[in-house]
Amino acid sequence: MSEGRVNQLEKEAVKSKAEVNEPVLVLDHVTMQFGGLIAVNDFDNKVIKGELLGLIGPNGAGKTTVFNVVTGIYYPTKGRIIFDDIDITPFKPYQITHLGIARTFQNIRLFYDLTVLENVLVAQHHELSNPDADRILMRNGKSPKNTQKMWFWRAVTKLGYTSKEKEMLERAKNLIEKVGLSHVMYEKASALPYGEQRKLEIARALATEPKLLLLDEPAAGMNPKETEDLMSFIRRVRDEFNVTVFLIEHDMKVVMGVCERIIVMDYGKIIAEGTPEEIQNNPRVIEAYLGKEWENV
Amino acid sequence: MSMVEKKLSTKTQVILTLLFILGMALLLWWADKGFDSYKQRVLRLIGIYAIMAVSLNLINGITGIFSLGHAGFILIGAYTAAILTLTPSEKAMSYLFGIQPWIKNLHADFFTATLAGGFMAALAAFLIGWPVLRLTGDYLAIASLGFAEIVRIWANNALTITNGPLGLKAIPEYSNIWWVYGWLLFTVVFIASLVYSSYGRALKAIRESRIAAESMGINVFKHQLMSFVVGAFFAGISGSLYAHWLTTVDPRITTMGPMLTFYVLIMIVLGGLGSITGSLIGAAIFAILFEWLRDLEQPFNFFGITVPGIPGIRILVISALFIAVMIFWQRGIMGREELTWNNLYKWLFARRKEGEKS
């Protein structure tokens, strides 16, 4: 069987799975308004568990704002956001991360003066220090990520802490190995080449052990070779780490090559939705990107 | 080229550290016996400055909160402890404007008083942290500087509590070498184990990028407040030691006002912002240099020319030096590195290896 055929079958399998599976994230008529500007206008869609969803649109369409609303950086003007059956609309970014949404940034935001290993370890810290987010989990009938208390005093006195530190270190090294950064484990993040910095940012997001991974333009600024690697990397991440991936991308090659479903935004509104093939031939999408043809105006 | 994580085993490092502490203790014991009283005072001042520097380094260097309110916490610690160690009869003598009755009979031993000073400073940091830590950058610096000034001016005016501008005099000189260096050891151990834990990594992450830290599940405000409170606690401790070294506390600008904050800032920038061992080195250099420069304030002979001493010239000299450090040597002595056994070993080893190659 040719590889293309296998991919086709896989995509169909995922598609049918998606139909029976419940959504992991629901954006329920979300509107985000900044003064007179409506950045996101009545966004009503959902992310299905296990899928690879793309969000595209011309510059200023409101894509990143959607991510910022989901991760709690902005509080939506209207609408609700439901993640894993919990209404996360009022929660703060660190609480939402604790509940299981991790993200990367359009312009890379690594902890540059820390090593690769430390960058990944930082992302595990929330397990110790977020009792308020754990209470949210328990209120909704889910198991908390941390049942022991007084981690600050444990860390300072080193009583009942070293085993946890060892376990975190083990996990972080494992993750770095898996994503293929072990050769730079003790290098500072600022010393990595661009492509590896992007990879590290994804690895750091994965270290929070998310259910949903939001990638904001992961291929921005990459050369074709790096982009190629990234595409296979994203697919591998989805399968190996068992996460749902929701990504914003400008590079059409990446979106069409990786995503199983695509949402197109323009001026804050969803203008189209469907498989890559459907999107490619959708006249409204072509219009949004290239403008109307002269005769049609 | 990837670096090797570890060269020395944990056991070796622990033994070396214990040996180092023992060696320092012997050195201090010898200094306690052999030094004249002036040198001893400088030695104790180094220890007190070191506590101030390490605690400010936690706030400024590790967490990246640009706080200029350290003198405020030092002052709170100093007054709290001094009021507690003075006996009721001593207090009755020095308070010329009357005294609050609840303060008059308060009395405690030096250890309890120092601890109380630390806790009062920590409480102040907790209360002031709520509003101030909502700010960032320059705004935070100005707000914290304002806080320190408010505390100082309050001390200048609360006559029945602090004895106003006269200050507290004849405080017993309890800060001997053992108290100072005992507290310094405790400070360094506490802050180092905090910094080299998951919490310390989170604090450094906040310094590197607030937004990314928040997105990685770190409650930025809570962690900043924690760092602020811990730093203030040790500032309070150092304030108590300082008061019992100076034997007076008063609310003048030069003793515990903004000047002191800037001195401590010079120490940590000189040693390397973000390095605990750097802060220790910076404090030692500053204290020695600052005492040594006193010679400039006396009339002295410079190649046959008699130079009249200018009072206060040492502050000018040290400021010029600080500016030079900022221009030519921004990372300070240690940068963000630590002087650990591993690094020492690595530097020596790497240098020898390079020598072999060439």
What ipTM was assigned to the predicted interfaces of this complex? 0.88
Contact A183/B at CB under 8 A: yes
- Other beta carbons within 10 Å of B40: 16
Contact A107/B at CB under 8 A: no
3-state secondary structure of A212: strand
Confidence of residue B96 (pLDDT cuts 50, 70, 90): confident
Distance CA(B117)–CA(B155), nearest Å, equals 15
**Among B241, B247, B194, B202, CA closest to B222:** B202
Tell me whether residues B205 and A185 touch, CB distance under 8 A: no
The C-alpha of B314 sits at a distance from chain A's nearest C-alpha, in angstroms, of 36
The per-residue DSSP string of B13-75 comes to HHHHHHHHHHHHHHHHHHHHHHS-HHHHHHHHHHHHHHHHHHHHHIIIIIS------HHHHHH
* Percentage with pLDDT > 90 across chain B: 60
Query: Looking at per-residue confidence, does B257 or B231 come out higher?
Result: B231
Contact A74/B at CB under 8 A: no
pLDDT number for residue A19: 54
Q: Could you give the C-alpha distances from B165 to B89, B158, B168, B170, B247, in angstroms and in order?
A: 20, 9, 9, 15, 16
Distance CA(A261)–CA(A244), nearest Å, equals 12
pLDDT number for residue A220: 87
What average pLDDT does the segment B325-353 reach? Answer: 81
Of A113, A125, A168, Cβ closest to residue B217 = A125
**Among A225, A81, A152, A46, CA closest to B197:** A152
Q: What does the mean pLDDT of chain B come to?
A: 89
**Among A67, A43, A59, A63, CA closest to A288:** A59
Tell me whether residues A130 and B202 touch, CB distance under 8 A: no
Of A105, A121, A187, Cβ closest to residue B2 = A187
Which residue of chain A comes nearest to B6, CA vs CA?
A: A186
The C-alpha of A167 sits at a distance from chain B's nearest C-alpha, in angstroms, of 12
Give the bridge partners for B249, in sequence order.
B168
Contact (CB, 8 A) for B103 and B95: no
pLDDT number for residue B93: 85
pLDDT number for residue B3: 47
pLDDT in tens, B198-215: 999 999 999 999 999 999
pLDDT number for residue A167: 94
Contact B215/A at CB under 8 A: yes
Residue B139, pLDDT above cutoff 90: yes
CB contacts of B198 in chain A (<8 Å) are 121, 124-125, 128-129, 151, 155, 164-165, 168
Residue B6, pLDDT above cutoff 70: no
Which residue of chain A comes nearest to B206, CA vs CA?
A: A111
CB contacts of B64 in chain A (<8 Å) are none
Can you give the pLDDT of all 297 residues of chain A as single tens digits? Answer: 455 566 666 666 555 554 557 899 999 999 999 999 999 999 999 999 999 999 998 888 999 999 999 999 999 999 999 999 999 999 999 999 999 999 999 999 999 999 999 999 999 999 998 999 999 999 998 888 887 888 999 999 988 899 999 999 999 999 999 999 999 999 999 999 998 999 999 999 999 999 999 999 999 888 888 888 899 999 999 999 999 999 999 888 888 889 999 999 999 999 999 999 999 888 888 888 877 766 554
pLDDT number for residue B24: 92
What average pLDDT does the segment B243-262 reach? Answer: 89
Distance CA(B269)–CA(B60), nearest Å, equals 10
Contact (CB, 8 A) for B7 and B342: yes
Give the bridge partners for A23, in sequence order.
A48
**Among B352, B350, B353, CA closest to B7:** B350
CA B337 to mean position of chain CA atoms = 19
What's the CATH architecture for B21-353? Answer: Orthogonal Bundle (1.10)
Residues 79-98 of A with CB under 8 A from B: 92-94, 97-98
Confidence of residue B66 (pLDDT cuts 50, 70, 90): very high
Which residue of chain A comes nearest to B2, CA vs CA?
A: A184
pLDDT number for residue B321: 84
The C-alpha of B193 sits at a distance from chain A's nearest C-alpha, in angstroms, of 5
Give the bridge partners for A214, in sequence order.
A103, A246
Residues 139-178 of A with CB under 8 A from B: 151-152, 155-158, 161, 164-165, 168
Do the bridges between strand A23-34 and strand A37-48 make them parallel or antiparallel, or are there none, so unpaired?
antiparallel
What average pLDDT does the segment B205-232 reach? Answer: 95
The C-alpha of A28 sits at a distance from chain B's nearest C-alpha, in angstroms, of 22
CB contacts of B193 in chain A (<8 Å) are 155-158
Contact B220/A at CB under 8 A: yes
Side chain identity at B87, as an amino acid letter? Answer: T
Phi first, then psi: give them for residue A168, nearest 5 degrees.
Answer: -65, -40
Could you state, in order of their start, the residue ranges of all structural domains in chain B? 21-353
CB contacts of A164 in chain B (<8 Å) are 198
pLDDT number for residue A17: 52
Query: Looking at per-residue confidence, does B136 or B85 come out higher?
Result: B85
Residue B253, pLDDT above cutoff 50: yes
CB contacts of A155 in chain B (<8 Å) are 193-194, 197-199
Contact B9/A at CB under 8 A: no
Q: Could you give the C-alpha distances from A123 to A205, B199, B280, in angstroms and in order?
A: 7, 11, 31
- Name B122's Cβ contacts closer than 8 Å, sequence gap at least 6: B229, B230, B232, B233, B236
What domains does chain A contain, in order, with CATH numbers?
A: 18-296 (3.40.50.300)
Residue B100, pLDDT above cutoff 80: yes
**What would the two tokens of residue A131 be?**
């009792």
pLDDT number for residue B357: 47
Of A94, A113, A186, Cβ closest to residue B208 = A113
Q: Could you give the C-alpha distances from A209 to A175, A198, A225, A261, in angstroms and in order?
A: 11, 18, 28, 24
The per-residue DSSP string of B125-193 comes to HHHHHHHHTTS-HHHHHHHHHHHHHHHHHHHHH-HHHH-GGG-B--------HHHHHHHHHHHHHHHHH
Instruction: Pick the residue of A129, A171, A213 with the most B CBs within 10 A to test the interface with B by mutation.
Output: A129
Contact (CB, 8 A) for B180 and B241: yes
User: CB contacts < 8 Å between A and B, how many?
Assistant: 117
Q: Is the dihedral of CA B126, B127, B133, B134 positive or negative?
A: positive
Of B211, B213, B217, Cβ closest to residue A130 = B217
pLDDT number for residue A145: 87
Distance CA(B212)–CA(B208), nearest Å, equals 8
Tell me whether residues A185 and B194 touch, CB distance under 8 A: no
Distance CA(B206)–CA(B214), nearest Å, equals 8
- Helix runs in A144-250, H state only: 151-157, 162-179, 194-207, 224-241
Contact B223/A at CB under 8 A: yes
Distance CA(B271)–CA(B286), nearest Å, equals 10
Residue B157, pLDDT above cutoff 50: yes
pLDDT number for residue A13: 58
Residue B143, pLDDT above cutoff 80: yes
B200 by Cβ neighbours in 10 Å (0-12 / 13-18 / 19+) ranks as buried
- Name A16's Cβ contacts closer than 8 Å, sequence gap at least 6: none
Tell me whether residues B197 and A155 touch, CB distance under 8 A: yes
Which residue of chain A comes nearest to B188, CA vs CA?
A: A156
